[in-house]
């Protein structure tokens, strides 16, 4: 509890609405002595920032993060380090155009949280989706930057978009470097070229496309996570499902494992230990095995479209709604850095939990 926090020792609480003065988060439980400056976090925010290509929302937000607490240049340190106190991060909203939303003040946009929020609370901030806006995810990306520093250089968390609109990459062509060369977080240059066409067409059609993001965490030692309701994959599932527009999460082979034969799904072991496969995505019985932790996340296509949709308003009247705000034609693209950040946060928390209960920083192996 409550509703806007996650994690246990490394615990993140976020706040803010799309069109309020700012958004932010408080990161509690961070180990002391971690060197941390705003530029460490800005790096990751810049990768999620809107307005960087025609394939993402044209909202112009610099997403400049400020550290308001929890960091100090102690007389024993070379520069600012975390003090163990809560780290408050704040990002101003500078390009919110609330007027874009005046027309839909009383309207429940289909596929959005509008109706559900109103049914729950009896009141809602309609401007840009209010609290349910994907703008909130900027704060997670900032928190994820801290989580990466807690994990250290030994753990690498990277996400890629592996399918858009049902068109999947060729996994044999996977190149992490390629991700930096296209605006889609796509590790396959050929797929990126096809997606460019597909997204231009979708925009032309007044439509949008779904996507699948894959995240891999390398360097996670065996032993993180815990039975039974503190499983590493359980916490990952919750964290990844909390991202806007996500409708599914799978670990390792995921749903494909349900079609497998038991003789091929076991991830046999040889001395090392090494594993002959990674069907289980680096997690067995909720605990990391030392293999890469792999998850895939399904993003639905955004429902914010310039095409008229059947809807109702707060008074129950039927009408049609056309969304005219600035939106991502494929929310999964900017979802990739958010997936990375959530994965890093969950891992950092489980590192500290494991150390707390067992006194072991890592695997016995």
Give the footprint of a second copy on residues 168-227 (CB under 8 A). 202, 205-212, 221-227
Closest CA to 143 of 236, 67, 32: 67
In whole angstroms, the minimum distance from the beta carbon of 175 to a second copy comes to 22
Contact letters for a second copy, residues 300-319 (x by CB under 8 A): xxxx-x-x-xxxx-x-xxx-
DSSP β-bridge partners for residue 305: none
> In this complex, which beta carbon is closest to a second copy, that of residue 68 or of residue 190?
68
In whole angstroms, the minimum distance from the beta carbon of 283 to a second copy comes to 8
> In this complex, which beta carbon is closest to a second copy, that of residue 179 or of residue 237?
237
> In this complex, which beta carbon is closest to a second copy, that of residue 50 or of residue 252?
252
The binder of a second copy chosen from 95, 103, 200, 268 (CB under 8 A): 268
In whole angstroms, the minimum distance from the beta carbon of 197 to a second copy comes to 15
Cα–Cα distance for residue pair 260/51, rounded to 1 Å: 42
User: Which range binds a second copy by CB under 8 A, 30-38, 55-63, 176-184, 185-193?
Assistant: 30-38
**Cα atoms found within 13 Å of the Cα of residue 60, Cβ hemisphere only:** 0
> In this complex, which beta carbon is closest to a second copy, that of residue 11 or of residue 148?
11
Going by the DSSP 8-state scheme, the letter that residue 33 receives in this structure is T
Cα–Cα distance for residue pair 199/42, rounded to 1 Å: 28
Residue 145 contacts by C-beta under 8 Å, 6 or more apart in sequence?
Answer: 40, 41, 43, 44, 45, 341
DSSP β-bridge partners for residue 217: 157, 293
Size of the site for a second copy (CB under 8 A): 167
Cα–Cα distance for residue pair 220/342, rounded to 1 Å: 15
> In this complex, which beta carbon is closest to a second copy, that of residue 177 or of residue 262?
262
> In this complex, which beta carbon is closest to a second copy, that of residue 4 or of residue 64?
4
Residue 265 contacts by C-beta under 8 Å, 6 or more apart in sequence?
Answer: 253, 257, 279, 280
Q: Between residue 223 and residue 262, which ones bind a second copy under the rule CB under 8 A?
A: 223-231, 233-242, 244, 247-255, 257-262
> In this complex, which beta carbon is closest to a second copy, that of residue 172 or of residue 261?
261
Say whether residue 337 binds a second copy (CB under 8 A): no
In whole angstroms, the minimum distance from the beta carbon of 281 to a second copy comes to 7
The burial class, CB within 10 Å (0-12 / 13-18 / 19+), for 64 is middle
Q: Between residue 77 and residue 136, which ones bind a second copy under the rule CB under 8 A?
A: 77, 81-88, 105-106, 108, 110-113, 115-125, 130-132, 136
Q: Which two tokens stand for residue 342?
A: 């959530």
> In this complex, which beta carbon is closest to a second copy, that of residue 1 or of residue 177?
1
From residue 112, give the alpha-carbon distance in Å to each of 94, 132, 303, 345. Answer: 23, 8, 7, 26
> In this complex, which beta carbon is closest to a second copy, that of residue 181 or of residue 205?
205
From residue 126, give the alpha-carbon distance in Å to each of 3, 14, 15, 109. Answer: 20, 19, 16, 10
From residue 213, give the alpha-carbon distance in Å to each of 33, 146, 324, 344. Answer: 33, 22, 27, 15
In whole angstroms, the minimum distance from the beta carbon of 300 to a second copy comes to 4
User: Which range binds a second copy by CB under 8 A, 41-49, 51-59, 61-69, 182-190?
Assistant: 61-69
In whole angstroms, the minimum distance from the beta carbon of 344 to a second copy comes to 15
In whole angstroms, the minimum distance from the beta carbon of 346 to a second copy comes to 11
């Amino acid at each position: 509890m409550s509703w806007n926090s996650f994690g246990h020792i490394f615990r993140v609480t976020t706040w803010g609405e799309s069109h309020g003065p700012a958004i932010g988060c408080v990161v509690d439980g961070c180990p002391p002595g971690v060197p941390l400056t705003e530029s460490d976090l800005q790096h990751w925010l810049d990768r999620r920032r809107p307005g960087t290509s025609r394939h993402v929302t044209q909202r112009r937000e610099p997403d400049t993060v400020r550290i308001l607490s929890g960091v100090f240049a102690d007389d024993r340190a070379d520069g600012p380090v975390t003090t163990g106190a809560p780290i408050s991060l704040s990002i101003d909203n500078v390009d919110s155009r609330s007027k874009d939303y005046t027309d839909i003040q009383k309207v429940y946009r289909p596929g959005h949280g509008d109706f559900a929020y109103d049914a729950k609370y009896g009141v809602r901030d309609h401007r840009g989706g209010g609290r349910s806006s994907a703008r909130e995810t900027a704060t997670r990306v900032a928190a994820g930057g801290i989580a990466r520093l807690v994990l250290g250089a030994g753990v690498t968390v990277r996400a890629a978009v592996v399918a858009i609109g049902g068109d999947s990459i060729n996994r044999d062509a996977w190149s992490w470097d390629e991700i930096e060369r296209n605006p889609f977080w796509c590790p396959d240059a050929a797929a990126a070229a096809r997606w460019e066409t597909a997204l231009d067409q979708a925009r032309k059609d007044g439509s949008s496309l779904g996507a699948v993001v894959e995240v891999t965490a390398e360097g996670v030692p065996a032993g993180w996570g815990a039975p039974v309701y503190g499983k590493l994959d359980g916490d990952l599932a919750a964290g990844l499902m909390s991202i806007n527009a996500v409708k599914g999460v799978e670990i390792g082979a995921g749903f494909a494992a349900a079609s497998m034969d038991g003789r091929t799904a076991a991830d046999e072991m040889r001395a090392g230990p090494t594993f002959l496969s990674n069907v289980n995505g680096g997690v067995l019985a909720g605990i990391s095995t030392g293999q890469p932790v792999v998850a895939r996340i399904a993003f639905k296509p955004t429902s914010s479209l310039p095409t008229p949709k059947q809807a109702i308003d707060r008074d129950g009247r039927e009408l049609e709604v056309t969304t005219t705000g600035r939106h991502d034609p494929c929310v999964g693209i900017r979802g990739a850095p958010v997936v990375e950040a959530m994965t890093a946060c969950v891992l950092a928390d489980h590192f500290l939990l494991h150390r707390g209960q067992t006194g072991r920083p890592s695997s016995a192996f």
